[in-house]
Structure 1
Amino acid sequence: MQNNLSLRGVTIPDDPQIITPKVKRSILAERYEKDEVTGLPKFIDPKDRVVELGAGIGFISSYLVTQLGVRHAMCIEANPTLCEFIGRVHKANDIANVEVVNAVALGDTRVPGTARFYIREPFWSSSLDPDPDYVSEVSVPERPLSEILRDFEANVLIVDIEGGEKFLFDGVDLVNVQKVYLEVHTRKIGLHGIKACFDHLSALGFAYDQRVSSGGSVLFRRVRRRSS
């Protein structure tokens, strides 16, 4: 019988094919997604409808449901193996109301097709970038981010896509989204990439929220227009 790990109230199957030694050490030391779980309780409301891009092993979605009372969430994950594991994590936590979609989200300036996704160890290093070396590659369906958000009626977007955030918001209609919680990857996109990402969000009416942001996990809130 397979053992389970526990992290901040979330049960995670201890499968060595996914939970490799480096991942396991991070979980046992409670370093895994530490900035995210520090910030999430400060702005998440149980009534929020959350779309998560780059869902990894399903920890954040499970934390949202089991610890913060979120009732409506969707996981978008490019790695099909992780999609299967997310289902197992959700089952281990008695979660049945979170949809898991194997896809890559696109900005509206691109035509959807298929993307090459490069898988590495540990899993959180996987990305759309073929550099550095990778273990394997898979073809993944692409879906417009605006369409995902509109169909799900999301008001919260969580993003951790290993550098893919650089141009994600270029020309995107964030529809009814009020909060964007974003992990920035400076080593992948550099300062110019961070500026591009922040500029796109600013142009869409979002502002940096210093009170919640910590380390590489940054919260943007939609700013209401002042009445004249």
Structure 2
Amino acid sequence: MNDFHELRGVKLPDDPSIITPQVKRAILAGRYEKDEVEGLPKFIEPDDRVVELGAGIGFISSFLATQLGVRSVMCVEANPSLCEFITRAHAANGISNVGVLNAVALSNSQSPGTSTFYVREPFWSSSLDPKPDYVKEVSVPERYLSEILDEFDANVLIVDIEGGEKNLFDGANLARVQKVYLEVHTRKIGLRGIKACFDHLSALGFAYDQRVSRGGSVLFRRIGRR
């Protein structure tokens, strides 16, 4: 048995507790995060400082570091088991410029404390929503998104948080962020939720970039002042 799977130049540890059969099939078929990863080279620059919310198994952060030469990435992941896996994935790829934070990001309209996170299989179905059935629940510290961005001096934000995007940007301070790459989950938040998310980003000075967006992976760019 191979110790690793390789996808687009990134090594992923073959740990059956995380890389379950459904996940393995997606990786071997090249489907895993396909739309998202094909969009990244179209707008990412090596000197970008990227915060990734919902880092999963560390594939996107590893791709950014090894294939696109991004100088610094911060992974934010709610599932503590995935945080440990991400660290192993980064080590397997010889990456030292990527950090990992176990937390749930909040908008400024909420008060931080702890969140109950519901873990499911496959891991990408895990979320803050208790429905449908879950394998276990874990308590996760909450952090303001604005604080995470400021502390890391991020100019790019990548978001894939299984419906948590609905109100994430409500009152958020994204003053230094120039690009937001967002995976939308219509089946989780519906059309009203998508509208709320897009409206919040529009109010913060971002516009939809059709040239990069594909499927559920949507790029927003900050509009410069004339």
Q: State TM-score, norm by structure 1.
A: 0.98
CA distance in structure 2 between the aligned counterparts of 1:6 and 1:148, rounded to whole angstroms:
30
Query: In the alignment, which residue of structure 2 is the partner of 1:72?
Result: 72
Matches for 1:144-159 after TM superposition, within 5 Å: 144-159=144-159
CA distance in 2, matches of 1:166, 1:132: 18
In the alignment, the residues of structure 2 paired with residue 136 and residue 175 of structure 1 have an alpha-carbon distance, to the nearest angstrom, of 37
Aligned to 1:120: 120
Deviations along 1:106-139, one digit per CA (max 9) or x if unpaired, are 0001111000000000000000000111000000
Q: Is the 1:149–1:175 contact (alpha carbons within 8 Å) kept by the matching residues of 2? A: no
Q: Which residue of 1 aligns with 2:83?
A: 83
CA contact (8 A) 1:106 1:142 kept: yes
Percentage identity across paired residues of the two chains: 78
- Following the alignment from structure 1 to structure 2, what is the Cα–Cα distance between the partners of residues 152 and 3? 33
Counterpart in the other structure of 2:215: 215
Separation in 2 of the partners of 1:78 and 1:175? 24
* 2:162 match: 162
Q: Find the aligned partners of 1:224 and 1:68 in 2 and give their Cα distance.
A: 25
In structure 2, the residue matched to 1:225 is: 225
What is the CA-CA distance between 1:11 and the residue it aligns to? 0.3
Q: How many Å separate the matches in 2 of 1:34 and 1:207? A: 23
Residues 46-98 of structure 1, C-alpha deviations (whole Å, 9 max, x = no match): 00000000000000000000000001100000000000000000000000121
Distance in 2 between the 1:11 and 1:38 partners? Answer: 17
What one-letter code is carried by the residue in structure 2 that aligns with 1:160? D
Report the Cα distance in structure 1 between the residues aligned to 2:42 and 2:109, rounded to whole angstroms: 33
* Structure 2 CA distance for aligned equivalents of residues 202 and 24 of structure 1: 37
Secondary structure of 2:19 counterpart: coil
Structure 1 position 47 matched with structure 2 position 47 = yes
Is contact 1:146–1:173 with CA below 8 Å preserved after alignment? yes
Residue 144 of structure 1 aligns to which amino acid in structure 2? Y
Structure 1 portions without partners, runs of 5+: none
Residue 164 of structure 1 aligns to a residue in which SS? coil
Identify the residue that residue 9 of structure 1 maps to in structure 2.
9
Q: Give secondary structure in 2 for the equivalent of 1:208.
A: strand
Measure, in 1, the Cα distance between the counterparts of 2:173 and 2:3.
43
- Gaps in structure 2 of 5+ consecutive residues: none
Secondary structure of the 1:91 match is helix
Task: Provide the residue aligned with 2:99 in structure 1.
Answer: 99
- Three-state SS of the structure 1 residue aligned to 2:124 is helix
Corresponding residue SS for 2:90: helix
Q: Separation in 2 of the partners of 1:35 and 1:2?
A: 26
